[in-house]
Structure 1
């Protein structure tokens, strides 16, 4: 069934979302695509997405998957980095000792470089042990590693959104790939995952169908509700061989969904996949003070958004305000492009961004 339009999702880094007070609906913990077999638009799906669970050791446990182990390694290396920083500062202080009555601009510049390098290395260590430990490690599959970043395993996948074309070519293949992935990850046999195939309701949009599907997963994470496939009242016997897929015809209110898996299978043997984790796993990393500050910004943004929408409805301004010229003057253009720290600022008087 054909539908109109598509969906739009705004992606940003966690630090930016928290600083701006943007509503966080979910965490894109992993994304991947696979193109296998034919390159033409053949109406049959391939199994390329199995590569998201590729591993060299057959899923044997790795210490890198342990949260506490990674935390200990990070603390040890951060401690060593702190000692390096202090040693550099002490060495610089010794070099300028005896200098009285003048400002050593060269030493100040070196001090800034030390601090800059320290912050860079600290950030790199946090990335290595926090979110990138599994990358370039053939013993840990992308999906297993992405779950472990948040302390999760395959047991914590609470729902899956399928492309759900309701065709012989796709449906059995899609369930087979999903079933094989969870088996590879070692999910407990019989621990089924509710499957949502929402195109029975929304149809296939003009744009990417996965945009609708992602919106659906985000709503389920927020509410804990897994919507049923209302026309799934006659499941083919061929689908009974898959241990992990549960095709619901009625909606189920769960106690909460930690993570959802989105599958999008297309013509030409092209497949896409997203792992979406509940936003609370990000918010739990904040201190109480940071969380309170974020909530204040979130409420302020919500008030401004509501006011903007009301002004649109009463005709004070159009919903989309298209700019007709850049925020910089012609003489500024080259300098703006060449400066990596150039930033536009909002001018309240004109209601525009300017340099």
Structure 2
């Protein structure tokens, strides 16, 4: 489910996806016993082991059964709905392991080396620009600058041709330009931020980790622990050796094998692994994986802790699923704090309110045993069925009486536009000065905005009143400083600024002390 969900969200084809797996058939357990894959209780008792020790991290395992449920959705959808965010799904990959194996292997419980291909890359002599962080930042900045240049050129072209443009057509065109800009922004960030692509010189795991190759703080392994499976820990040790992500033996990756606690869930074990990995990443507690075979000492890039590790923070975690049937998969999750860190404080506080309200509603539904509501009719009437299916912007609305979502007439017939963008473009058209919008970078620390003398000498009272209430006043002062001294190419003592607030555009002048 996870690889399909991640690709679908990147294409903007889905808002959320839910997956569920259930296992627990007697036939499966019987055949596993015939293969001598599971441990035998009689043998374990003879060896002096208690039942709690019969399913160990990567040596022996007991059969298990249960259910796993996961929901994956876009960050925007999760924030808008107030859903709890346990982690960020950053990378997924599935493999038919037997076809990538280094040998012909008809054995079901003996996976090959297929997942090793996430470290595939070719050697190179010259440096790769796409890996350079400064180069990537420059490309993103140039992409944004190019979009604004296109907007200016189109405005000047329409003015020179003297085309009569009414308000409706003007608003529609601005909305189209904004949509194109958003898509170009997304493509630029995907290419230079997330390093999407297929460059053979950059390994997939190196690409997903951008340039921070040591951010993986925990590795959850499948730990089949049968004699035929000797490849899982070897694969990960080789990945950290050959993938050139900067990992060293002194920074070994802690291993988690929760099979010792939950048993072997067969096909649904990955669902339990993901749940445990999300708990580890969010809490920073890495459980122990003791009672291991001695040959794991050769895995110099992996560490199997004998006691639980209480980390001060885990940036990212990886899990690998080596299942029976020659099929495997790898997934990487990132700590959700990196999503929250990009939000404005006001937006984060609003999300917390929505999240608390949603949690209270779920508790209420559990108390009243009304978590599942069986649908008795579609959300639209018979007359609206065809119009809803033919309307690309039709959306259901909440009916507070029945507490259900329904389509109501009349259906929307026009796309909503951002009024602030339209006002900004009109202001640019009517502005008597020639404005050059150029993106520039300025270190926040280079602008001593905490010094009152510097602020009063270099910023007007209007600018100070605007910057002080911002969530990050230092960032606002640095942006103003860069805009005056660098970005706008000031030739005199006067400069024009545009400021959009609550859908309105204000034009004002600021002086620059000599």
Q: How far has the Cα of 1:59 moved from its partner?
A: 11
**Structure 1 position 128 matched with structure 2 position 187:** no
**Structure 1 position 184 matched with structure 2 position 242:** yes
* Aligned residue number for residue 233 of structure 2: 175
Change (3 A) 1:189 1:29: same
1:328-343 mapped onto 2 (5 Å cutoff): 328-343=380-395
* Aligned residue number for residue 205 of structure 1: 265
Cα RMSD (Å) of the superposition?
2.5
Q: How far has the Cα of 1:46 moved from its partner?
A: 1.1
TM-score by structure 2 length?
0.61
**Structure 1 position 8 matched with structure 2 position 8:** no
| Partners of 1:191 and 1:244 within 8 A in 2 | yes
* Aligned residue number for residue 19 of structure 1: 80
Q: How far has the Cα of 1:308 moved from its partner?
A: 2.6
* Aligned residue number for residue 256 of structure 1: 313
Q: Indicate the SS of the match to 2:228.
A: helix
**Structure 1 position 33 matched with structure 2 position 94:** yes
Q: Which deviates more from structure 2 when the two are superposed, residues 337-346 or residues 276-285?
A: 337-346
Change (3 A) 1:220 1:88: same
* Aligned residue number for residue 348 of structure 1: 400
Q: Deviations over 1:268-304 (max 9, x none)?
A: 3221000111111222222333333323322332232
Change (3 A) 1:290 1:67: farther
Q: Indicate the SS of the match to 1:346.
A: strand
Q: In 2, distance between residues paired with 1:257 and 1:182?
A: 18
| Partners of 1:5 and 1:207 within 8 A in 2 | no
Q: Indicate the SS of the match to 1:331.
A: coil
**Structure 1 position 193 matched with structure 2 position 245:** no
Change (3 A) 1:112 1:240: closer
Q: In 2, distance between residues paired with 1:137 and 1:329?
A: 51
Which of 221, 225, 237 pairs up with 1:162? 221
| Partners of 1:64 and 1:70 within 8 A in 2 | yes
Q: Indicate the SS of the match to 2:312.
A: coil
| Partners of 1:6 and 1:206 within 8 A in 2 | no
TM-score by structure 1 length?
0.87
Where structure 2 has 5 or more consecutive residues not aligned to the other structure, the ranges are 1-61, 100-104, 408-514
Q: Which deviates more from structure 2 when the two are superposed, residues 157-166 or residues 57-66?
A: 57-66
* Aligned residue number for residue 315 of structure 1: none
Q: How far has the Cα of 1:53 moved from its partner?
A: 1.1
Q: Deviations over 1:52-101 (max 9, x none)?
A: 1111127986442344432221011101111101221232344446x5xx
**Structure 1 position 272 matched with structure 2 position 329:** yes
Q: In 2, distance between residues paired with 1:322 and 1:205?
A: 30
| Alignment size in residue pairs | 339
| Partners of 2:64 and 2:265 within 8 A in 1 | yes
**Structure 1 position 137 matched with structure 2 position 199:** yes
Higher relative contact order (CA 8 A, sep 6+): 1
| Partners of 2:144 and 2:185 within 8 A in 1 | yes
| Partners of 1:88 and 1:114 within 8 A in 2 | no
Where structure 1 has 5 or more consecutive residues not aligned to the other structure, the ranges are 313-317
Q: How far has the Cα of 1:135 moved from its partner?
A: 1.5
Change (3 A) 1:108 1:66: same
1:39-118 mapped onto 2 (5 Å cutoff): 42-57=108-123, 62-96=128-162, 103=166, 105-118=168-181
Which of 354, 358, 361 pairs up with 1:301? 358
Q: Mark the structure with the bigger radius of gyration.
A: 2
